[in-house]
A and B are shown apart, each in its own frame.
Chain A
Amino acid sequence: MVSYHSSASNNADAVIIGGGIHGCSTALHLALAGMSVIVLEKDYVGRHASGVNAGGVRRLGRALPEIPLAVASAKMWENIEGLVDDDCGFESSFQIKVAEDETGLEQLKTRSKEVHALGFSHEKIIDQKKLQELLPAVASHCVGAMMVEGDGFANPFRTVQAFRRKCENSGVVFRQGAKVNSIKKTGSNWSIHTPVEMFETVNLVNCAGAWAGEIAKMLGEIVPIEGRAPMLMITARMPAFVTPVVGVQGRPLSFKQFANGTVLIGGGHEGQANLETNETKLDFAKLAISAETASRLFPIMRNARIVRCWAGIEGVMPDRIPVIGPSQVEGAFHAFGFSAHGFQLGPVGGKIMRDLIIDGKTDLPIAPFRIDRFVKKS
């Protein structure tokens, strides 16, 4: 809720730009550590990627640098209710990535070896027989799969709202409809301006999602982030036929059935995003490809009714891993660019930010996510 304070309380130990899951998770962790926190959200909390994504909670198939973070976050998801007093609709069963042919299965096997070599054993290869046992509705031409037990999905909007509520109960102040349009630094003090107000802090955190590039630019850091619009479709209710979350090796597809029977089909075909207007444009020719993949994989889906399609706005980096870490400017920190797979990392993302801000370091290996891997400060 928007609350109006006198200018004296526009000053906080930390100001976070962006009210998605990473902004809210960071705010919560800092507040629990005793800091005063203000979150500035240009629309409303959970309006964009965090509120409308596919809700996947997975370690499966992560880019190698993300795996330690995803594994740590998965532990936090197991007790999400302890963190935010809400189970967030989290359902854990398993996530599974199907191989449609031998080539695909070989690719999965190679990948599995790489992950095991890093010391992680969560990804397992299963054969056709086991696949058909776990996914009776899958097409018979599929030869095997990779799976992770304990992966699953949650309700994204509900999750962000749960983080937000816990934040507010912990004293975090949220300002919605507050778009940051300029940032100045005087000594160690940041002054952060929206059209109608100014906020001051010594710790500025950039969790602005697809708009984080604009914020980084205000700090003098240029990053090649793009706003993209991965599309999703949801069907009318169907009898229960699939428990896990399903993906396909070599094709963008993510497929899950909720307890109410509706099936969500996503996975990566993109429409177009307009960062100025918050509008996204759907591309039905590409959705047709997703539809074709889904019905080829699950023939039972052919007569499923699509009742809605949409696309959120995601911040995507060229190497498809996020920017996490201190800014090249003292007193600022970044957590953005999660490239359409930041939801599961939300809980641990906030903890990492807290570690960096309060302790000056974190135990988790975040070096691959440095902002200066792209371009040095201008």
Chain B
Amino acid sequence: MSRQYDIIVIGSGPAGMAACKMASEHGADILLLDEQRSPGGQIFRGIELPQNQKRPELGNAYQAGKKLTKAFRKSNVEYVSQATVWQLSPDLEVGYSKAGEARIVSAKQVILATGALERPMPVPGWTLPGVMTAGAAQIMLKESQIDVADAVFAGTGPLLYLIVHQYLAAGIPVKAVIDLTPQGNYLKAARHLPRALPKIKQIIEGWQWKREIANSEIVFIEGATDFRIKGDQSVSGIEYFKGNRWQSLQCEHVFLHQGVAPNLNLSLAAGCNSQWNERQKSWTIETDDWLQSSVTGVAVAGDGASIGGAGAAQQQGAIAALGALCRLGKIEESQLDRLARPYRNELKSEMASRPFLETLFSPADIFRLPRQEDTIVCRCEEITVGEIRKAVAIGCLGPNQLKSFSRCGMGPCQGRMCGLTVSELIADTINEPVAKVGYYRLRSPVKPLLLQELANLKTSAES
């Protein structure tokens, strides 16, 4: 019998940390597993590093994470860092590996807080050395104090403006920002603005970053309708289509970004139901008011279920923990709504700007449904747009059937970099809704596992 905890939390970003804090306050026996070296997830990456204690250029949101991280550290949680979770079974058995050793632990309740990853942005040339994501730029800035000078930043979304703002504040030269926000989005988004009032400060902040970029020496291009990266063995430049012609810029580094999507491989492999969110153009995990998924005992909180941002994730983590605590009998059901109310109010306020942001920064069709046939879609196995459309033409009607016609989706990233594109491409080719086409059927291990690790698998009771 493996060691059984009250609650296992997976992911130490804002949702995971908030869940741990709440659960610890009510005396639960908690295990937190996270892949990275230190807590904070991606948004608060490197937040405990001494060099990051006084870095205003990283922004207010980042600084706010310090409070939560400190509270997390004070809470009574068994925290295992550098733990790669590869399985969550319907019986709530969690398989993970650390330092080459695999083990299985179990819990009465599980809270998944797996966060987000960057949406794929499959433009020609996106696999060349020198191309990275805006998130990668953030991580290098926060954790490694490494910047890339004279890079081109391309795409859409608040994170794009944020990272360039951070570069400007740090005095790092930026070659260009190619803002690919579709021009028509501004009008569509405007009607969501009144509702977004509770978060108007953040919206204004984002707009100020954009203005700052436009007024700086950075080449700032808006209104381009196509984009590609040039180079042979590595990036040599970029091209954008504007004013009816292709225009080019030389550079050696490109940072791409067009929003984030839930990192839901573990949730899906665990059997949680998902649904297609048309405005977010991504799959989200179905959850109830207490963030419970369709799998009994498994809650999914934060961006890992549906994108809402760090503030929302923090509230959801607390709410998910309250639900779990009640099911464990550590909180009276009669107390539950009262305890959750302040978090629900905050959550509502946090989510107020989502319709506005999602509409404004909705990526253009051309960057989700690449037109150039030789554009790589599945990075791991180098499957192109043309190969996928051809497979569909000979009868492959879904991402899972596609895996039998080619190796699309069968590489080590297990669909994280290609899944959204593949589902949308197939839907577009056969003219069916994405919801009907579906997504890859995911199984454990959700991250590769060494045969040796599996062979030596311990249930934690034996170790």
CB of A356 within 8 Å of the partner chain:
no
B90 in the interface (beta carbon within 8 A): yes
Within 8 A of B (CB), among A279-308: 279, 281-282, 284-285, 287-288, 291-292, 294-295, 301-308
Answer yes or no: B395 CB below 8 A from chain A CBs. yes
Known contacts: A279-B271, A284-B87, A284-B95. The answer to whether A307 contacts B450 by CB under 8 A is no
Q: How far is the CA of A282 from the CA of B95 in the complex (A)?
A: 12
Q: A161 and B395: CB pair below 8 A?
A: yes
Within 8 A of A (CB), among B406-463: 407, 410-412, 414, 443-445, 448-452, 454-457, 459
Q: How would residues 262 to 290 of chain A score, 1 for a CB under 8 Å from any chain B CB and 0 otherwise? A: 00010000000000000101101101100
Contact B448 A307 (CB under 8 A): yes
**A294 proximity list for chain B (CB < 8 A):** 451, 455
Residue B53 is within 8 A (CB to CB) of chain A in the complex: no
> B322 on the interface (CB 8 Å rule)?
no
Interface membership of A260, Cβ < 8 A:
yes
Centre residue among B90, B104, B450, B454 by max chain A CB count within 10 A: B454
Q: How far is the CA of A165 from the CA of B93 in the complex (A)?
A: 42
Find chain B residues with CB under 8 A from A308 CB.
410, 414, 443, 445
Size of the chain B interface, CB-CB below 8 angstroms: 29
Does A241 reach chain B (CB closer than 8 Å)? no
**B residues within 8 A CB of A198?**
none
A281 touches B449 (CB 8 A): no
Least distance between A45 CB and chain B CB atoms (Å): 10
Determine the distance from Cα of A254 to Cα of B33 in the docked complex, in whole angstroms. Answer: 34
Contact B443 A310 (CB under 8 A): yes
Determine the distance from Cα of A308 to Cα of B443 in the docked complex, in whole angstroms: 7
**Contact code string A155-170 (vs B, CB < 8 Å = 1, else 0):** 1011001000100000
CB atoms of B443 and A307 under 8 A apart? no
Q: Say yes or no: B414 contacts A282, CB within 8 Å.
A: no
Q: Does the CB pair A295–B457 fall under 8 Å?
A: no
> Are B451 and A295 in touch, CB under 8 angstroms?
yes
A247 interface residue per 8 A CB criterion = no
**Interface membership of A35, Cβ < 8 A:** no
User: What is the bound-complex CA distance between A197 and B449, given in angstroms?
Assistant: 47
**Cα of A126 to Cα of B459 in the assembled complex, Å:** 40
Q: Are B459 and A281 in contact (CB under 8 A)?
A: no
Q: Interface centre among A284, A292, A302, by most B CB within 10 Å?
A: A284
Compute how far the CA of A303 lies from the CA of B451 in the bound complex, rounded to whole angstroms. Answer: 6
Let me know if B36 is at the binding interface, CB within 8 A. Answer: no
Q: Is B404 an interface residue (CB 8 A)?
A: yes
Q: Is B449 within 8 A of A305, CB to CB? A: yes
A235 contacts the other chain (CB 8 A): yes
Complex Cα distance, B404 from A308, in Å, reads: 14
Q: What is the bound-complex CA distance between A281 and B90, given in angstroms?
A: 8
Structural contact, B454 and A284, CB atoms closer than 8 A: yes
Q: How far is the CA of A158 from the CA of B395 in the complex (A)?
A: 12
Query: Is A51 among interface residues, defined by CB-CB distance under 8 A?
Result: yes
From B395, B405, B445, B456, give the contact of A306 (CB < 8 A).
Answer: B445
A288 partner, pick from B93, B271, B405, B457, beta carbons under 8 A: B457
The digit string for B2-43, where 1 denotes a CB below 8 A from any CB of A, is 000000000000000000000000000000000000000000
Chain B residues lying within 8 Å of A265, measured Cβ to Cβ, are 451
A183 at the interface (CB under 8 A from B): no
Pair B451/A307 contact, Cβ less than 8 Å: no
Is A83 an interface residue, CB under 8 A from the partner? no
Minimal beta-carbon separation of A121 from chain B (angstroms): 36
Closest residue of chain B to A284, judged by CB?
A: B95
Q: Is the CB–CB distance between A285 and B89 below 8 Å?
A: no
Contacts of B395 in A (CB 8 A): 1, 161, 165
Q: How large is the interface on A (under 10, 10 to 19, 20 to 34, 35 or more residues)?
A: 20 to 34
Q: Judge whether A304 and B412 touch: CB under 8 Å.
A: no
Whether B454 and A158, one on each chain, are in contact in the complex, defined by CB atoms closer than 8 angstroms, is: no
Question: Does A309 reach chain B (CB closer than 8 Å)?
Answer: yes
Whole-angstrom distance between the alpha carbons of A331 and B170 in the complex?
Answer: 82
User: A285–B459 contact, CB under 8 A?
Assistant: yes
* CB–CB B454/A306 < 8 A: yes
Q: Is the pair B404, A236 in contact by a Cβ cutoff of 8 Å? A: no
B449 touches A306 (CB 8 A): yes
Q: Which residues of B contact A161 (CB under 8 A)?
A: 395, 404
Docked CA distance A275–B95 (Å): 26
**Once the chains bind, are A285 and B457 in contact (CB under 8 Å)?**
yes
Please state if A307 and B410 are interface contacts (CB–CB under 8 Å).
Answer: yes
Nearest opposing residue in chain B for A288, CB measure: B457
Please determine whether A307 and B454 come into contact, CB atoms closer than 8 angstroms. no
Contact of A260 among B407, B412, B452 (CB under 8 A): B407
Report yes or no: A306 in contact with B450, Cβ–Cβ below 8 A.
yes
**Of the residues A46, A235, A279, contact of B451 by C-beta under 8 Å:** A235
Bound: A183/B104 CA distance, A: 47
Return the chain B residue nearest A279 by Cβ: B271
A305 near B412: Cβ-Cβ < 8 Å: yes
| A303 and B457 contact, CB distance less than 8 A | no
From residue B446, how far is it (CB to closest CB) to chain A in Å? 10
Residues of B contacting A309 in the complex (Cβ-Cβ under 8 angstroms) = 443-445
Do residues B451 and A304 form an inter-chain contact, with CB atoms below 8 A? yes
B107 to chain A, nearest CB (A): 16
Residues in chain B near residue A260, CB distance under 8 A: 407
- Residues of B near A279 (CB, < 8 A) are 271
| CB–CB A304/B410 < 8 A | no
Chain A, 151-195, CB within 8 A of any chain B CB: 155, 157-158, 161, 165
B451 touches A282 (CB 8 A): no
Q: Is the CB of B451 within 8 A of A301?
A: yes
Q: How distant is the Cα of A287 from the Cα of B457 in the complex, in angstroms?
A: 9
- The chain B residue with its CB closest to the CB of A283 is B89
- Nearest opposing residue in chain B for A293, CB measure: B455
Q: Is the CB of A281 within 8 A of B89?
A: yes
State A308–B412 Cα separation when bound (angstroms).
Answer: 9
How near does chain A come to B179, taking the closest CB pair, in angstroms? 37
A346 to chain B, nearest CB (A): 16
Check if A287 sits within 8 Å of B414, measured CB to CB.
no
**Interface residues in B219-261 (C-beta closer than 8 Å to A):** none
Interfacial chain A residues near B401, Cβ < 8 Å: 44, 157
With contacts A281-B90, A282-B443 known, is A303 near B452, CB below 8 A?
Answer: yes
A158:B404 contact, CB within 8 angstroms: yes
Query: Are B104 and A304 in contact, CB atoms less than 8 angstroms apart?
Result: no
24 A-B pairs whose Cβ atoms sit less than 8 Å apart in the complex: A46-B404, A51-B404, A158-B404, A165-B395, A236-B412, A236-B448, A279-B271, A281-B90, A284-B89, A284-B93, A284-B444, A284-B454, A285-B457, A291-B455, A292-B455, A295-B455, A302-B451, A303-B450, A305-B448, A305-B450, A307-B445, A309-B443, A309-B444, A310-B443
Q: What residues make up the interface of A, taking CB atoms closer than 8 Å to B?
A: 1, 44, 46, 51, 155, 157-158, 161, 165, 235-236, 260, 265, 279, 281-282, 284-285, 287-288, 291-292, 294-295, 301-310
Given contacts A308-B443, A309-B445, 9 further A-B contacts (CB under 8 A): A51-B404, A158-B405, A279-B271, A282-B87, A295-B451, A302-B450, A304-B450, A305-B449, A305-B451
Cβ-closest 8 pairs across A and B: A157-B404, A291-B454, A292-B455, A288-B457, A291-B455, A305-B448, A302-B452, A304-B451
